[in-house]
Amino acid sequence: MRIDVVVPSTRPALLARLRAALPRRLPGELVVVAAAGLSPAAARNAGWRRSAAEWVAFLDDDVVPAADWVDRLVEDLRGLPTGVAGSQGRIRVPLPADRAPTDWERNVAGLERARWATADMAYRRAVLEELGGFDERFPRAYREDADLALRARRAGYSLRRGRRLVVHPVGPAGFWVSVAKQAGNADDALMDALHGPRWREQADAPAGRLRAHAATVAPSLLAGAALLRGRRRSAAALAAGSLLGCARLAAERIRPGPGTPDEVARMAVTSLVLPYAAVAHALAGRLRHAGLARRRRRLGAVLFDRDGTLVEDVPYNGDPRAVRPRPGARSAVRRLRAAGVPVGIVTNQSGLARDLLSAEQVARVNRRVDELLGPFDVWQVCPHAPGDGCPCRKPAPGLVVAAAAALGVAPRRCAVIGDIGSDVEAAAAAGARAVLVPTPATRPDEVARAPVVAPTVTAAVAALLGDAP
């Protein structure tokens, strides 16, 4: 089993320390990515794409692996079922023994409880390929790893905790670090758009403080409006309410800390600014990703072509035993069901008109597809030959229109995923969206004309849901 270790780094001293902590013999290669100018997601993507290993283990350059880390890594990954996409290591953050930790130290110590943190996380390379890797729309750390874990679990994979250990020392931090960290609220807005408002629960992430911050900011905005209207007493009362919220935040941050003058001053000053920074970044993120959230809501159903898209194309197949799902088909359909999107199949079966297949044979094959990938919410089958001039055979829109009607969804809210040009043309004729997933049977001109092309069915679904990296 080959395992490559990917380390994005911009800090030579930390990288040298990590290299010294790793044993000389690795079960693969150490892939170091020069991460200057790259987001954490982009740097990790660059790393795993350079790897040909079965597993890719990600480490941050500021961790120190335990002496037995490599042996434990191999033990954690050896023999895992194919349905397990990744394994997380354990993270320990050393805190001072002679005093209470500072606000920043407590923040870093949260890594010990974090789920699926890429400070030490290994993924199957095939799963990274299937899911498209880390989403580079996340410009900062901490949410790109939760997003990938959610996509993996929704695609039907599981994630495990391993026994290997890394130590994550607390690095230095400036006076305003807590305020700067509020930029992550914009990434939380992207998570809302991609995964819905319950993503924290699904990703085992702690609840944020945004509502409390908003409750602190709102009175000050109302105070400004009252002052413009000449209502000074109301403005003063509202401003006092906002200051009370800042004072409460400062007290909550000071209470568990060391109580030194420097720490108290830092908490008092930054707590006056922190709620406003948090709300501003959250609003900016919501505005930036509002179109993405609307696109997800508009998707009413996804209709798949059968042969060559969901299952291997066996010409005029009437044998259920010959039905073999295409790579990624199961996870793609599961991903749509998890998102609450109805799924259906629209398929041409001209073998019926040519007397190469019986209706019972087609029904048995379709039942087998349902057993392996379904059940599907709607099936629409065209039994006609190309020269029959029927309105249902793709590239005509009939199958798509009929499937949409059966689901109670307007065709314009549907999307069709197929492997040849007639699938795309049928969608366009019905007013639906289309994604082409080429196979060796797809002609180059069909690829060139397709409005959207995806390498896999899973990637096609991710593009339609708006969570394609």
State the catalytic residues: 305, 307
Whole-number Å distance between alpha carbons of 97 and 125:
40
Of 398, 384, 453, nearest to 426 by C-alpha is 398
Burial of 8 (0-12, 13-18, 19+ CB in 10 A): buried
> Any idea which residue has 């060139």 for tokens?
448
CA distance 81 to 83: 5
- Which H or E run includes 347? strand 343-348
Q: How many residues does the structure list for the chain?
A: 469
Tokens of 401: 């229109």
Please name which of 57, 62, 94 lies closest in space to residue 76, comparing C-alpha atoms.
57
Rounded distance between C-alpha atoms, residue 267 and residue 250, angstroms: 6
Q: Say whether the peptide bond before residue 219 is cis (omega within 30 degrees of 0).
A: no
Strand pairing class (55-59; 120-124): antiparallel
Q: How many whole angstroms separate alpha carbon 423 and alpha carbon 417?
A: 7
Q: Please give the structure tokens belonging to residue 201.
A: 């629960």
Based on the number of CB atoms within 10 Å of its own CB, is 60 exposed (0-12), middle (13-18) or buried (19 or more)?
buried
Of 14, 19, 4, 108, the C-alpha closest to 53 is 4
CA distance 275 to 297: 30
